[in-house]
């Protein structure tokens, strides 16, 4: 009924606005009083009709507020009604869900942040930069990125409680971009490593670190993709693949390097290591554009173990020099395969060359004139592409191991036994 009254009063007001241009004040006053009487009579008629035709619906409505006297102007005319904004309340269920998520994040930060550290690096007398890291064992072992401490003559670690102490570099691994530090403190809060093979695209993640030197910064995002590959430079001018990289949209910026990427249980699923961006800041530093990368926790576990035991990581080496997913050249070279890796070249005297693996024949213009061998399985595991091959090689083998390669060559399937070398420095 209130809505009907509002519509009727609106009609009266609009009539009044039109009349203002051609009537005297007395005439307008008389007309408004007469229109007001008609409006009140019409509203009462509508109310009576509603009560007669829909009593059940009227009973279900919430009880109306007590009627208020219609405000009057000084001349006794009905005043223009004033509309008051009514805020829309958030449903209790939605508010409760938001409160629960906030509490999860608050609790996660309070548990994890004490184990995250600020790393300050000097090269000679010069402060060369800073990064992040986290305690992996309570007796003072700390994980960070290799690029954070590479070339450092002094590394200082500042804990969340403000304690500063000097750190020793136990070992570095350029290929995984990881480094292990040791400080002379015990009983430290530490972070647990998750199984990165269980990580799923879409799951919520948190990054904690020190972007731009802002200690203890937490950002929230999701896992955007899995199985990315980063290229790490080798001393011979080439490069090797760092496989199984986790991609995230959680904000990662300079200074986050070496900090943890956490699941919502507070376990480390990766170590933040790089971002991809085309928008450098005014200071020339790359800034986040929603594409960040983290070294997976299973790689961290393997590398930390090797650095503690030997101070270095020994990688297996197949000796493949260039490869392409077979589906990219299958039609052109008439190869009836969709999965597998076609070998473009091999290192002379390397493991696969000794086993008889053949690369492709390429003419002077770079065109493939004869297909190379296609690796379709590694120790019985089907291989999809080159990233899959490198991931399987690095995660499951050591230098000196014997492995079996199942290959496709000119319509035939063969099996080769390969003795792995150690990756050259």
Rg of the Cα trace of the chain? Answer: 36
Choose, from 156, 173, 177, 388, the residue flagged as catalytic.
Answer: 177
Residue 385 CB coordination number (10 Å): 19
Helix (H, G, I), strand (E, B) or coil at 364: coil
Residue 69 CB coordination number (10 Å): 5
pTM (predicted TM-score): 0.72
Residue whose token pair is 């590398």:
303
The DSSP letter of residue 310 is H
Phi, psi angle pair for 421, to nearest 5°? -95, 175
The DSSP letter of residue 183 is -
pLDDT of residue 28: 44
pLDDT of residue 267: 97
Q: What is the DSSP string of 123-177?
A: ETTEEEEEEEEEEEETTTEEEE-HHHHTT-SEEEEE-TTS-EEEEEEEEEETTTT
188 in Cβ contact with 135 (< 8 Å)? yes
Digits of tens for pLDDT over the chain (425 positions)? 444 344 444 444 444 333 333 444 445 455 556 656 665 665 565 555 545 544 444 444 444 444 455 555 555 555 566 666 666 666 777 777 778 889 999 999 999 999 999 999 999 888 888 999 999 999 999 999 999 999 999 999 999 999 999 999 999 999 999 999 999 999 999 999 999 999 999 999 999 999 988 999 999 999 999 999 887 655 554 567 788 999 999 999 889 999 999 999 999 999 999 887 665 554 556 666 778 999 999 999 999 999 999 999 999 999 998 899 999 999 989 999 999 999 999 999 999 999 999 999 988 888 888 999 999 999 999 999 999 999 999 999 999 999 999 999 999 999 999 999 999 87
> Each residue of 99-133: pLDDT tens digit?
888 999 999 999 999 999 999 999 988 888 899 99
Decide: residue 77, CB within 10 A, 0-12 exposed, 13-18 middle, 19+ buried. middle
Residue 21 is a catalytic residue = no
Token pair, residue 266, equals 């507070």
Choose, from 147, 224, 249, 385, the residue flagged as catalytic.
Answer: 147
Q: How far is the C-alpha of 268 from the C-alpha of 255, rounded, in Å?
A: 18
Choose, from 132, 176, 224, 257, the residue flagged as catalytic.
Answer: 257
Residue 147 is a catalytic residue = yes
Residue whose token pair is 């050249």:
329
Q: How far is the C-alpha of 373 from the C-alpha of 196, rounded, in Å?
A: 32
The closest of 276, 250, 245 to 261, measured between CA atoms, is 250
Q: How far is the C-alpha of 116 from the C-alpha of 307, rounded, in Å?
A: 20
Q: How far is the C-alpha of 36 from the C-alpha of 423, rounded, in Å?
A: 95
pLDDT of residue 31: 52
């Amino acid at each position: 009924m209130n809505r009907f009254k509002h519509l009727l009063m609106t009609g009266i007001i609009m009539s009044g606005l039109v009349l203002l241009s051609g009537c005297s004040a007395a005439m307008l006053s008389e007309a408004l009083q007469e229109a007001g009487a008609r409006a009140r009579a019409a509203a009462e008629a509508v109310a009576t009709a509603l009560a007669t035709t829909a009593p059940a619906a009227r009973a279900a409505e919430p009880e109306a507020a007590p009627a208020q006297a219609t405000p009057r102007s000084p001349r006794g005319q009905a005043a223009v009604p004033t509309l008051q904004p009514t805020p829309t309340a958030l449903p209790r269920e939605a508010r409760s869900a938001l409160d629960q998520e906030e509490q999860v994040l608050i609790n996660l930060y309070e548990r994890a942040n004490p184990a995250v550290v600020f790393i300050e690096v000097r090269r000679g007398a010069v402060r060369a930069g800073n990064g992040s890291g986290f305690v992996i064992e309570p007796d003072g072992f700390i994980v960070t990125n290799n690029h954070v401490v590479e070339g450092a003559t002094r590394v200082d670690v500042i804990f969340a409680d403000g304690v500063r102490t000097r750190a020793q570099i136990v070992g570095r691994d350029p290929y995984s971009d990881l480094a292990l530090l040791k400080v002379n403190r015990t009983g430290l809060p530490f972070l647990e490593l998750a199984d990165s093979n269980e990580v799923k695209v879409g799951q919520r993640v948190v990054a904690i670190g020190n972007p731009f030197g802002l200690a203890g910064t937490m950002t929230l995002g999701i896992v955007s993709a899995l199985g990315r590959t980063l290229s790490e430079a080798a001393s011979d001018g080439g490069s090797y693949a760092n496989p199984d990289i986790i991609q995230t949209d959680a904000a990662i910026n300079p200074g986050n390097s070496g900090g943890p990427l956490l699941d919502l249980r507070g376990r480390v699923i990766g170590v933040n290591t790089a971002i991809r961006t085309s928008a450098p800041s005014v200071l020339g530093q790359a800034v986040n554009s929603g594409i960040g990368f983290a070294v997976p926790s299973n790689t961290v576990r393997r590398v930390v173990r090797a650095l503690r035991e030997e101070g270095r990581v020994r990688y297996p080496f197949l000796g493949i020099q260039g490869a392409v997913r077979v589906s990219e050249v299958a039609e052109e070279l008439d190869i009836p395969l969709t999965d597998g890796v076609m070998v473009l070249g091999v290192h002379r005297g390397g493991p696969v060359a000794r086993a008889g693996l053949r690369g492709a024949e390429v003419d002077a213009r770079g065109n493939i004139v004869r297909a190379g061998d296609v690796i379709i399985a590694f120790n019985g595991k089907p291989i999809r592409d080159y990233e899959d091959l490198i991931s399987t090689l690095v995660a499951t083998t050591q230098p000196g191991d014997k492995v079996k390669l199942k290959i496709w060559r000119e319509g035939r399937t063969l099996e080769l036994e390969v003795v792995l070398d150690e990756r050259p420095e």
